[in-house]
Amino acid sequence: MTYRVCFVCTGNICRSPMAESVFRARVEEAGLADLVETDSAGTGGWHEGDATDPRTVSVLDEHGYGTEHVARQFQPSWFARRDLVIALDTGHLKALRRLAPTEEDARKVRLLRAYDPAAGDDLDVPDPYYGGRDGFEECLEMVEAATTGLLAAVREQLEGQAA
């Protein structure tokens, strides 16, 4: 059985494709690529059809991650086909929970940085879109730190499904 994870930010050109790329790499490194599907979307459709922001691509390339991505907007019907929906900040978390057709679907929505024990109380990954390259580097650091814990949680879910 495939476990499906979707990362969601605002426009689906910076943070969520970055998280998707990093998590996909973690899944592949763990040998779970045949069990875990990863994708991403935005809460809005402003950038639908656009490629990943070039600054995101540059930072990912520099750190050894690949990207092949076209922006799209998250749809409420997708909850039925996702096991986990990962929000990049609290605004996305709230928007996604409002979109959720059922309480069960709303419980599928989690904040990415909640999987990073070192994150403390600030669980938002700040939007780097309006800043310089440093913001994209900071975003990547946060994503990398959180995806380790996320992978452990997904692995636990997979083991539970197999039992």
Query: Catalytic residue among 6, 14, 15, 113, which?
Result: 15
pTM of model > 0.95: yes
Given a contact cutoff of 8 angstroms between Cβ atoms, the answer to whether 40 and 12 are in contact is: yes
34 is catalytic: no
In the chain the domains, ranked by start, together with CATH numbers, are 3-162 (3.40.50.2300)
Radius of gyration of the chain (CA): 15
pLDDT-wise least confident of 65-69, 117-121, 122-126: 65-69
From first CA to last CA, the distance across the chain in angstroms is: 12
Summarize the confidence of residues 19-23 as an average pLDDT.
Answer: 98
pLDDT number for residue 64 = 97
In this predicted structure, the answer to whether residue 55 has a pLDDT above a threshold of 80 is: yes
**pLDDT one-digit tens code per residue, 86-115:** 999 999 999 999 999 999 999 999 999 999
Summarize the confidence of residues 33-62 as an average pLDDT.
Answer: 97
Query: Catalytic residue among 4, 50, 97, 127, which?
Result: 127
Q: Alpha carbon of 147 to those of 59, 69, 74, 112: distances in Å?
A: 17, 19, 21, 8
Helices (H) and strands (E) in the chain, counts: 5, 4
